[in-house]
Structure formats: C-alpha cells, structure tokens
Chain A
C-alpha cells in the first residue's frame, strides 16, 4: 500500500473530524513500520499490545497534531512510539531491546565466537541489543525502518548534524560489539 505525503495529511484531517475509516487507512499504512520499531525495543510479549496502545493514543490525541515545518504525521507517530517505549521501560525496567529469541549473552557468547565466522541476522540482532539505548534507536530507525536523517531528527528532537554523528558512532560501536563476538566479516 502506498500513500503520498499529501494523501496522509488528508487522511489525518478526516481522522481529526472523527472519521474512523480514514484512521483505519492510516493504521494500515503505518502499522508495519511502527510494529517493527517497537519490536526491537521491548520484549516480544509486549509488542502487539504496545502497537495497539500507540494507535489508540494517536487516535485520542489526533486533534493535537498539527502539520509543521519540523513535524510530519509520520514523525509525530514515531515520537509517540518513542515516548511509549520510554514509559514502558520505566514501568517494566527492561534494558535494551530484549526479544526472547535473542538468546542470553552469557550462554551464547562463546559458541558464537567459536563457531561463527560470518555475520548472521541473529548475531546482528544480538549485537544491536548490546548497544547503548540511543545508539540502538538510531540503528533501528535508520537501517531497519529506513527513515531519513530528517525524519529521525524530528523524532529524536535533535539536529540532522547530531543524527549523522550518532549514526557514525553507533556503527562504530556496533562494529566493536561484533568484533567482541568474533565477527569481522560483514559480507
């Protein structure tokens, strides 16, 4: 499903007038990237619930949204997701993006080092989960959710320059984590 920026804004206006179907269309368009964003940030059993809660919050607060120079509906939605995840951490004291299928560091560290010579998805996820939270954030938004630097800067409320620097540092940190895990070949 493809929607242009203008189509999205039109649907938002209709939703603000109470049109649930219009909001449903927005949901269809944004649910996958939002789900993906939350997926890497919290335990698996909370992902669906948080995704639903996010869209419900968006619906309840949609009249507060206003298209501005540095805010699109997309970045507004991600901002809500970010805040929701932060609140979730505060309540559940989750650290890093722990999904159950990412196995415990202590158990897997040695086997990974011993047996793996090249980069697999699971290893990458493991390495991402070890990053500091703000670096995880940038890696997930940029390379997993494919957001532009401008969009990321709107979500994180930082300048594009800061976002570029954070990406650079995040990649360096990720490289370092992978090196600790014995991975040097990324192809």
Chain B
C-alpha cells in the first residue's frame, strides 16, 4: 500500500473516538436490566412448549362460577341448535377458535403427497374460475343481499363476500392459480377478477379483507402482466410475481399487519393526500396501527402463530408441486399430436397450408409465431415424457421460426404486441417449472427467444436482467428444497448475466434502472434467506455477493483467488470467441 494510504490509515487510528461517560453507561445499564426483567428470565432448559404448558396450567386454575357456567351453557346450546356442525368427526364446538384451527390444520397436514384439496381435480386444468377449493366448518357467501351456505368448488364472482365462522376455514383458488387460505372469523370481499380476453396473461385480482386473517400464495404471475392485491381500510398489499404473504386485520385493535414469507410484496399506505409505498421483503412484517407504521423482522409470538405459518408454508410447497403437475398434463393435452405420432405430418401440412393461403404479411408472420409456440408446447410435452431427441429437433424448429419473424418484429408494432402477448401466455405455463424439471429446457428456449426479439440493446439488457431475476427466484426455491447443486448452477448463470449487463454502461433507460432495482431486490431476498443457512456453501454466498455488487455498480466485483468458482464472459471479437475472466484487484 502506498505511503499516502499508510498515512491515512494512521490518521484514522489516531482519530478521536466517542466514548460513553460513566454516568451514561450506568444509566443505560439500569435501563437495560429493567427491560430484561420485563421480558422475563428464560432458562435454557425450558422449551417454548414447556412455557406454553406453564401458561396453560396457570389459566387452568381459573374456574367459572356455577351461575356463569349455566348461562354460558344456555348460549352455547342455542348456537348449536341454530347451526349444526358439518363435519361429523367433530364432537362438540370448541369455544376457542384457535384449538379448532389447530386441529383442522393438523388433520389437513396429515394427508401426504397429493393433498385432500386436489385429489379429485379434473386432469385438464380448470383454473379459469375462482372457486372454493376446500371448506371446513361454517362458511357463507353473501351475494346480492342473500346468504348462501358455501360448498366445495362453488364458483365465486365479483362482489361476493365470504364469511368464515368461529370454526370456519376456507381455501379459495383464483382463476390465476393464486390461493387464499382464510382463518376463522374472517370476512373477505371480492372486488375484481379480471382476465384480458386477448392477452390471457394479463390478470387482476383484487380482494378486500374486512376482518380476520388470510394467507395468500401467488404462483403464476409473470412479466409484470398480472397483479394480485389485498386491500384493507388502511393498507394495500400488492404483488406482480410469485410471493407468499400473510395479512391480518384486527378490527378490535384496529391494526393491520402484512408479513411476507416468500419473495416481496409492495405495501401502500395512504396518508392524507399522498400514498407511502414500501416494498416488504421476505422475513419482514409491516404493521399499521392508528396511522403509525412499524416494520420489523417477522416474530412469531405464540404456538398458534407458529402453527399457522408452518402449515401454510407446507401447503405452499404442496400446492406449487400440484400446479406444476397440472401444467405438465395441460401441456401434453395442448401439444396434441407429437412427432412420434403417425398423424404428425398431417398436422404440419395443415400449418403449411395456412401459411400459403394467407396473403397479408403481418397475418402470415402471426401464423409463424403460432407455429413456433406450438413447437414449444410440443417440446414441453416431449421433455416431460423423457424424449429429449425429438424435443431437441422440435426446439430447433421453434428457434428457426422465431428467426424468420425477427426482422418483421423490428418493423411492425402489431406483430411486436402479438409476440409479446403469445410469449407472456406461454411463460405462465412454465412459471412454476424449476431447473431440475425435465421441462426446463423449454422454459430456457422461450427466454432465448424473447432475448433474440429484443428491439434494442437497452431492451436486450432489460430482458437479460428479467431472466436473471427469474433465475434468482428459481435458485431461492431450490435452496429451500435443499437442491444445492441445481441452485448453484442457476445462480451462477444469473450472476453471469447480471455482471455482463452491469458492465455495459449503455443501459441507461428508466425501465433498465427499474429492472436493475427489481433484480437487486430479489438478490437481496435470496441473500437474506441463505445468510444463516450453514448448508449453503461459501462459494454460493460469494456468487450472491458478486451479483449484488454488480447491481450496486461497484467497479469490479470481487472474486476470491482460492475459490473454485470462476465467472467468465464469452465475448465475440471479430468472429473469434474470447473468454474474459474477472480478476481480483491487486493491492
């Protein structure tokens, strides 16, 4: 290190540093000790369950008088007579809904593999409607002033109000494949269930939580085409991509809390004439209480909360697998006749004929796009069946068809829109497909196609970052499933793309900056998730650091000299391929 830096170092070390005077130290110590007393001393030997049992014993010593007991019995028997329990396995009504919830959720969880929810869903995906997937206990729907007893697979519509009773539990599956799980004593109004007729990927779901609690899992929104929003009187929670979040509206204490358990959610709080916007990331909760806002790390206060979260997180995983299986089946249905089938040549002949008889240039190009998309669907079906050879041929044809329309797309806004809409719809078919799935190659081919059709270098960078963003989300899921190798490979690919884009200074558009922020946010969510995870290797954490630094616009990302990981970028210079390695800065 040169002389000046050495001098600077010494100056820093000589710098006058703040110290606490004895009086302040003592005052702070007294304050701390007092706060420690208030939180209570916790012994190592006492687990949280034992703490709970101690609390239960304490409350168990409270006994109602005979008069109170008699009065309560009258009220309870009257309630039983007016509303019989639906599930015959239940004996008696639990007065505390928490016990009911716990029992119900544990019962649900005890079904393994395909859950009770989905065991008899038709093979072809019928998720175009919004329905009740499952119901327990008292659940009603208020529609046009009338109260209807809810039933399984009942179709829901806009303006319906769903009310769960003290022992009620409802699971709603929306037409966009999102789900909401309503706890007892919850009231939810459906405001909007919108799907664009032309761009099927463009969807909007908006519901209002009047009281109670609901867990929301969004799995199938892609490319910022759709939105899922839960509103209350004080808060709006919205997402345009995969996410899981819990929202509670406590109408007694008049507060709302949004806790994010996967990815991130945008929360808006209107205040006077303006609206505060905040992106709440995984692991954090945002609370609004009488116009005061508070954001902090998620803390589960009691067993009931822990149970709610654990069960919902487990169901989230099951649901994703189920949706992926449904999509797989739907892809096979949609693909229809495959290359190995005898009528495949007839199918292709039909396509060629359509092209020949269409005279309009733009319409013909649209047909080419349709044919390309069909090839992609066939590839998905073939890959799913393990037929890699035919899948490869079909993917080649897909790429070829895309190449054919490349020039035309540059010139025709109508065709651009058509391609964009077609690709967005197709992307939804693969939104839950992870790198360890056989169908993943088709997803990658679609990404490549989007990139090849980008209209400018700026758009190319934006698409690259979007793809990288998706890969980081995929890596996050894979880490969650302990699939470290696939996760690392996916993350490495994402980081290579991020570093490449970061080094190209031309990406100065507003959209490019937005996408950079979005991707940085996703990288940070991943970083937060794996930080304390000892099963995640040092190399992986280093790759995440590199991605983060590249997006933060650090000059050169730091590469460890002893790391097995090397990030290389292939650059084409004058027709030759050169590998550029990012080197460690020398002191």
Contacts and interface: CB of A to CB of B under 8 A. Distances in A.
Interface of A: 16-18, 20, 23-24, 27-28, 31-32, 35-36, 39, 48, 51-52, 55-56, 59-60, 63, 87, 90-91, 119, 121, 124-125, 139, 143-144, 146, 157-159, 161-162, 164-166, 168-169, 171-172, 174-175, 178, 186-187
Interface string B1-36: 100110111111101111110001100110111011
Interface stretch (B347-355, B443-451, B556-564): B556-564
- From A121, A144, A165, A186, name the one whose CB has the most chain B CB atoms within 10 angstroms: A186
B558 A56 contact: no
A76 B31 CA distance: 22
B458 interface: no
Contact of B33 (A20, A90, A174, A186): A20
A171 B4 CA distance: 10
A91 B293 CA distance: 9
A158 B563 CA distance: 13
Interface stretch (B38-46, B60-68, B72-80, B155-163): B38-46
B411 interface: no
Nearest to B280: A90
Contacts of B18: 35-36, 39
Contacts of B538: 159
A114 B64 CA distance: 81
Given A20-B36, A161-B562, A165-B558, A186 B29 contact: no
Contacts of A144: 12, 15, 17
Contact of B20 (A32, A143, A162, A172): A32
Nearest to A185: B7
B302 interface: no
Contact of B42 (A36, A63, A90): A63
B146 interface: no
B11 A52 contact: no
Contact of A24 (B33, B585, B587): B33
A31 B42 contact: no
Given A31-B28, A159-B560, A168-B587, A16 B44 contact: yes
Query: Contact size class for B?
Result: 35 or more
B43 A27 contact: no
Contacts of B16: 121
Given A48-B28, A165-B585, A168-B587, A124 B41 contact: no
Given A159-B560, A186-B11, A32 B41 contact: no
9 contacts: A16-B44, A32-B20, A35-B20, A52-B28, A56-B39, A125-B15, A144-B15, A162-B558, A165-B585
A37 B9 CA distance: 18
Contacts of B561: 161
B29 A28 contact: yes
B12 A165 contact: no
B560 A162 contact: yes
A56 B560 contact: no
User: Which 9 pairs show the lowest CB-CB distances between chains A and B?
Assistant: A143-B12, A186-B7, A18-B41, A186-B11, A39-B18, A171-B5, A121-B16, A168-B587, A162-B558
A24 B43 contact: no
Given A162-B545, A186-B10, 20 more contacts: A17-B44, A18-B43, A20-B33, A31-B20, A31-B28, A39-B18, A60-B42, A87-B297, A91-B295, A159-B538, A159-B542, A159-B560, A161-B584, A164-B587, A165-B585, A166-B558, A171-B8, A186-B4, A186-B11, A187-B11
A84 B43 CA distance: 25
B585 A168 contact: yes
Contact of A186 (B8, B297, B560, B562): B8
A31 B9 CA distance: 25
A72 to B, nearest CB: 16
B585 A169 contact: yes
A87 B298 CA distance: 12
A129 B146 CA distance: 63
Given A157-B531, A168-B587, A56 B42 contact: no
Interface in B540-568: 541-542, 545, 558, 560-562
A173 to B, nearest CB: 10
A116 B385 CA distance: 76
A56 B32 contact: yes
Nearest to A59: B36
Contact of A23 (B4, B36, B531): B36
B541 A157 contact: yes
B296 interface: yes
Contact of A139 (B1, B12, B558): B12
Contacts of A55: 32
B324 to A, nearest CB: 33
B17 A36 contact: yes
Contacts of A60: 39, 42
A31 B19 CA distance: 10
A27 B36 CA distance: 12
Contacts of B24: 48
Contacts of A52: 28, 31-32, 35
B15 A124 contact: yes
A132 to B, nearest CB: 8
Given A27-B29, A144-B17, A17 B545 contact: no
Contacts of B28: 31, 48, 51-52
Contacts of A125: 15
Contacts of A187: 7, 11
Contact of A172 (B5, B36, B39, B41): B5
A166 B587 CA distance: 10
A90 B294 CA distance: 10
Contacts of B17: 36, 144
Contacts of B15: 121, 124-125, 143-144
Nearest to A53: B35
A107 B512 CA distance: 35
Contacts of A169: 585
A23 B37 CA distance: 12
